[in-house]
Structure formats: structure tokens, C-alpha cells
Structure 1
Amino acid sequence: MRKFIILVLAALLFFPLGVSAEVYELRRNLSVILPELPAPWTVSREASPALVEHLAEHLLEDAERAGRTLSKDDALRGARQRLATNDLLIFNEQSEAHVLISFSPIGRRDADPSADAVAISARYAAEGVSDEGWEKTAEEHRPVEVKGAQQAQYFKIEYTEDGDPHLFMGIVGYARPFWFWVYANDHLKDPADRPVLENILNNIEIRASR
């Protein structure tokens, strides 16, 4: 029995959690394809009230840590504004783990970003953990292939916030003619979240055209 369990766990590491995929059309010339997600994960173009509340709580904590006064209404307003910049939001309301996906087009006359430019952008994204005042405990950066993208860089940051461990990982890349950012946040409340997040990062596909 023990050998069987080990074989099953090994298989989960090498094969996606779901064989199906869902296509999400964001604009006329832009779609994202995601692997099938288990319950209670949801995908939406707009932030759910629970996700807004989750981010607002973090904004209040950040303000208190910085010695600033921030009302709950202002925190909620700020959370909605931040989340509105994302094109697709994936959220587990039970554990508050989530993925934020956003795109930004480049000009028709602008050159495609180089691999170095994408790597630098990914490092800037990862540095946001330190900007929030959290303490990094481990960090990883490497190029990664994303179907439909010309360049992509993966990052993973393990950090602590008020002594509690968290995981922030994602992909920054370029799928002509769009820059894209995929940010995955795992608060380590449910061990089942990490395989789901890694499945998204490993199997996301972008279909873009001018």
C-alpha cells in the first residue's frame, strides 16, 4: 500500500491535475487557456467580494505597520482599484489562495522585449515582497516556456509576514504584442493549493494577435 501511494504522488508531480482546459477570451485578439480547476476554485473577470476583503485586510495591516491611518472604506476602495487592473482572477475563497493575470500591449512600432528585459521585469515583480516589508527566506528565478509566448521568466519567493510563512510565485513574459504577468499567492492554509497553483503556472497558454 505504501509503495502504491508513493507512485500516485509521483504521478501527480509529473502530470496535470486536469485533462480538460477552459478558454477565457479577454479581448478580441487575446485569450487565456487554463487547465481545469477543482472546486472551490473560481475564475472571473472581476474580483469577488471575498478577494476584495482579503486584499483590503492586507492594506490595513500594511498601513498600521507603516504608522499610517487608513479607514476600512479607503482600504476597500484601494483593493478594488488594484484588482481592477487585472484581466483575470482565480481564487479559492476558503483558503484565500489566488492568481492574478494581467496584460499590457506594447506599441506597434516598439521592438519585442529581450530575454534580459523580461528577466529584469520578473525581478522587479519579486522585489515587491520586500517593498511590502516582508522577509524573504528563499528565492528562485529561471527562464520558462509558456505556450504562445516568445519570452517568459518564472520566479518563486518564500517569505514570512509577521512570522507566518507564505509563497509568492509567478511568470512575467511577452506574448506578442502583450506583456503579461501571472502572480500566484499561496498563504499555505491548505496543502492542496500549491499543486493547483503550480498546475496553472505549468499549463497556462496564451493566444494573442495584433
Structure 2
Amino acid sequence: MQTRKKTWAIVLIVVGAIMLLGKWVTPLSMVALLVLCYGIYTMRANRVSFGYKCLAVGAGLLLLDHIILVLGGILISVGVFYARARELHRGREYVRRQEFVSQLNREREPWVPEPISLWNLFGDVNCDFSLALPTEPDTVIHLQGVICDADLTFPEEYGVELDIFVGYGKVSFEGKAHSGMLNKFVWRSPGYAYSEQKVRVVMAYAAGDVNIRIN
């Protein structure tokens, strides 16, 4: 009896969604949604690289089928990015970049962190702050876009503040994973206000896999 009720509930939800979104549903968009769903499934099965490729293909198919809708969403995201960047950096000098595909890899040799706001369609971020040579007492890292794979490592002596939003994907912090839809993760290290070196990371992506470690 419970199984029958559950089946009817799913049928009603699907029919209602088709009625509401009927004019947007085409054979190509259905294929794109299937590819996106498979990409999400493979990401949850720890096949992250292949999953991102599926998400990229699915997003490309949706772009072809609903170019105006997708471009409108991208323009809104970029507009929010500009407003958020000004708010976060508050008049201080910072680097601002907008790229379709970008890599921010700082994990193999010493590097100097700088305040940055980066927007991208597809991003790959790997930063190890234990190798950083900071020149300022606090740094703001602002990352925003569509899809991102991020791996961040911070030393224990740093004051760290995290504000992360992932529309669908996974946020892992100290080995504990938080996955699903509308994934919001906010954290501030103890004694942040009294730390000599502070880092604030603000991220917002439609889909992604974010891994954060404190060493």
C-alpha cells in the first residue's frame, strides 16, 4: 500500500512538472538532463573527473537548446559576482578575473596569496596555504561560477572563515562530507578575531565538489 502511494506521488510530481515546464521540454533537453543526472551520479560514486565531463556535455546541450535561458542565467550570475566582489573587498585593491575555463593551482611551491575575485564557467582550484608567503594580515578569496572542483588546505595557525554554497554537489570539511542540493556551509575557526593571519573564502557554484582540510 505504501509503495503504491509513493508511486502515485512520483507520477503526480512528474506530470505536474511537465505541465509547468512543457514548453521548455524538447528531445534535446531531455537528453541533456539525462547526461547531467548521470554526471551527478558518477560524482557521487567518486568518479569526479568523468562526472564533470558529463556535466559539461549536459550543460552544452542545454546551451544549444535554450540559448536565451542559459545566457540570461549566466548574465545574472556575472552581475551578482560584480556586486559581491565590491562588497567583499570594500574598496581595497584586488584581482578580478572572468574566464570560461580557469585553473588556480597553488600547491607545489611557495606562493604569495592576493585578494581575488574569480568567475568561471568551469573551474579547477587547488590551493595549499601552508606553502603561502602572505604579505598582508588578511586575504579574501572570492570564487563564483557554474561548475568547480576545489581543494583547499589551511595550516592550523591561520584564522579561517568559510562561506560556501553549492547548488548541487559535495562539500567535504575535515573528512566529513555534506552533499545534496542547495548545500550551504559556513564555518569560522576558533580565535579567528585574534589570529595574526586570516583568510576568508567565499564560494558560490551551481555544481561542484569542494574539499577543505585544516592541517
Which of the two has greater helix per residue?
A: 2
TM-score by length of 1: 0.27
Structure 2-normalised TM-score?
0.27
Give the number of the structure with larger relative contact order, counting CA–CA contacts within 8 Å between residues 6 or more apart.
1
Please identify which structure carries the higher strand content.
2
